[in-house]
Amino acid sequence: MAGEVPIEQLADDMFQVVSDSAGQKKLKAKDLTKAVIAKYGDKISKDDTKAAIRLLIDSGRCVYGYFGGSSIELPHTEGSANE
């Protein structure tokens, strides 16, 4: 059933996934959704995953990046950024 896993837990899991792949692979919102669905199956809904991403971003733990496609990343200073 959807809603069985607290949104905070999903956001924590997503944060872990992003941290694990930092510097190796840029992840998209869809990759995070897939990761938590793989873990919890139908205990969660798409709306739960959307809410978790919202929490993840609004808490400042992750930020959106863009290079060709949009990604969700740990906050950092971009190599291309000028002072």
Binding site for other proteins (CB under 8 A): 28-30, 50, 53-54, 57-58, 60, 63-70, 73, 75-76, 78, 80-83
Q: Nearer Cβ to other proteins, position 11 or 53?
A: 53
Q: Nearer Cβ to other proteins, position 24 or 80?
A: 80
Which tokens sit at 41?
A: 């199956």
Task: Give least dist CB 81 to other proteins, A.
Answer: 6
Cα distance between residue 72 and residue 11, in whole Å: 12
Task: Give least dist CB 39 to other proteins, A.
Answer: 18
Of 43, 42, 48, the C-alpha closest to 10 is 48
Q: Nearer Cβ to other proteins, position 2 or 63?
A: 63
Whether the CB-CB separation of 26 and 73 falls below 8 Å is answered with yes
Task: Give least dist CB 75 to other proteins, A.
Answer: 8
- Residue listed under structure tokens 């205990």: 43
Tell me the longest C-alpha to C-alpha distance in the chain.
49
